[in-house]
């Protein structure tokens, strides 16, 4: 796939699913099962639609959905069939939440920080500047109260939700010029969304919000000075190395980014418990697969970018990282104070992170330090 075809698939279309019929069983019959019960018909089947915030078969994020759908079909013997639609086919990339909440479609795959404008609290379940890495995030979701809080908030909007993908730690972005200090961020025009964008603005940058398909040409023409996307594997596919040569790390703004599988609550409750269990486990597997895929593909892609495409790999200066960390704490605390749900979620997030950080310092971090001791 060339860059033009790749970018063409990333456009955000308008919501267009108002007339789609949802919650149908094979033959068009309405499902008659209860949340915890078994189907009243042994041969009952369901035909569902899933909309995404990315194109069909999009590297890793879309592929995770491909795996999820195939796993559900295999494990249910075809009783639950899911047809997948990319961004703009039935629903615009930023219309996924509303379409699933309203029941126009049964399922959606996206990232919760896209809904921060209506639900500030949910961005804590996706990516937080200087927040948790993927392993910590999963610990909070599955072994503490993170996922319970997420589902409680989504239930108010007629949804249930499952983690269903993770990028791991992202890169800090592509820059047209070298960054030597905090001063170089003054007036810097950067494409960066979410909480990370608010932090960049707080340290003097100018945040430019662009659809993914618009980032490369804006960077190439100098309309923006810098841009972040994901990491080496996906960034190479877009071709950012042709528009900017400086590639910075660490990805302070998104140390882990969790994707979500959201399901309309009535649709979910129409499924018998065995199929619910299959969906739950398929989402769990999608998260593990995507994180593993990024780990493998990013390593190869970064080596290729540096060795074969002239990319200049750089670490952000310490003074800039300190200033970004300070601003991040202020921005995140402001979000936490915006409503009661945000306060509850952030308090839970903070408690788990503090506990986890101590353990991480004497496990992974201590091991990495030992591994890098000079001979």
Percent of the chain with pLDDT over 90: 86
Model pLDDT, residue 212: 75
Please check the confidence at residue 5 and state whether its pLDDT lies above 90: no
339's enclosing H/E stretch is none
Homologous superfamily of the 173-255+311-355 domain (CATH): Periplasmic binding protein-like II (3.40.190.10)
Q: Residue 179 and residue 314: Cα distance in Å, rounded?
A: 9
Q: What is the pTM of this model?
A: 0.87
The token pair at 158 is: 């007629």
* Domain 12-36+43-169+258-296 top-level CATH class: alpha beta
Q: Residue 323 and residue 108: Cα distance in Å, rounded?
A: 37
Q: Residue 194 and residue 245: Cα distance in Å, rounded?
A: 24
Average pLDDT of the chain?
A: 90
Please check the confidence at residue 24 and state whether its pLDDT lies above 80: no
Q: Residue 214 and residue 236: Cα distance in Å, rounded?
A: 16
Fold match flag (12-36+43-169+258-296 vs 173-255+311-355) = yes
Q: What is the DSSP string of 208-273?
A: ----HHHHHHHHHHTSSSEE--S-HHHHHHHTGGGT--EEEE--TT-S--EEEEEEEHHHHHTS-H
What are the φ and ψ backbone dihedral angles of 206, each rounded to 5 degrees? -115, 120
Average pLDDT over residues 59-63: 95
Model pLDDT, residue 30: 39
List the domain boundaries for the chain.
Answer: 12-36+43-169+258-296, 173-255+311-355
> pLDDT band at residue 14, thresholds of 50, 70 and 90?
very low
pLDDT tens string 199-238: 999 999 999 988 777 899 999 999 999 999 999 999 999 9
Percent of the chain with pLDDT over 70: 89
The token pair at 143 is: 């072994």
> pLDDT band at residue 310, thresholds of 50, 70 and 90?
very high
- Give the CA diameter of the chain: 70
- Give, in order, the Cα–Cα distances in Å from 329 to each of 181, 279, 318, 323: 20, 36, 17, 10
pLDDT tens string 143-194: 999 999 999 999 999 999 999 999 999 999 999 999 999 999 999 999 998 8
């Amino acid at each position: 796939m060339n860059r033009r075809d790749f970018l063409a698939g990333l456009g955000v279309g308008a919501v267009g699913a108002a007339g789609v019929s949802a919650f149908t069983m094979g033959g068009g019959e309405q499902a008659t099962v209860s949340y915890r019960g078994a189907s009243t018909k042994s041969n009952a089947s369901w035909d569902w639609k899933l909309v995404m915030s990315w194109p069909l078969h999009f590297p890793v994020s879309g592929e995770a959905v491909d795996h999820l759908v195939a796993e559900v079909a295999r494990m249910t013997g075809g009783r639950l069939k899911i047809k997948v639609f990319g961004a703009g086919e039935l629903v615009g990339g930023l219309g996924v939440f509303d379409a699933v909440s309203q029941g126009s479609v049964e399922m959606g795959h996206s990232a919760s920080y896209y809904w921060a404008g209506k639900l500030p609290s949910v961005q804590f379940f996706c990516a937080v500047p200087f927040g948790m890495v993927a392993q910590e995030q999963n610990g909070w979701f599955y072994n503490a109260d993170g996922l319970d809080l997420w589902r409680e908030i989504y239930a108010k909007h007629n949804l249930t939700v499952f983690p269903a993908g993770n990028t791991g730690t992202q890169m800090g972005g592509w820059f047209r010029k070298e960054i030597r200090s905090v001063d170089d961020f003054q007036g810097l025009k950067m494409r960066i969304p979410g909480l990370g964008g608010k932090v960049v603005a707080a340290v003097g940058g100018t945040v430019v919000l662009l659809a993914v398909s618009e980032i490369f040409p804006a960077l190439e023409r100098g309309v923006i000075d810098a841009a972040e996307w994901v990491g080496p594997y996906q960034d190479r596919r877009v071709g950012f190395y042709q528009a900017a040569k400086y590639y910075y790390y660490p990805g302070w703004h998104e140390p882990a980014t969790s994707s979500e599988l959201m399901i309309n609550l009535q649709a979910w409750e129409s499924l018998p418990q065995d199929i619910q269990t299959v969906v739950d486990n398929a989402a769990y597997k999608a998260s593990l697969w995507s994180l593993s895929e990024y780990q493998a593909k990013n390593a190869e892609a970064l080596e290729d970018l540096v060795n074969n495409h002239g990319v200049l790999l750089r670490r952000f200066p310490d003074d800039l990282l300190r200033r970004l960390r300070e601003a991040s704490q202020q921005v995140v605390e402001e979000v936490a104070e915006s409503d009661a749900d945000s306060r509850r979620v952030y308090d839970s997030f903070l408690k788990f992170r503090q506990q986890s950080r101590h353990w991480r310092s004497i496990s992974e971090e201590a091991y990495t330090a030992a591994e890098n001791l000079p001979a």
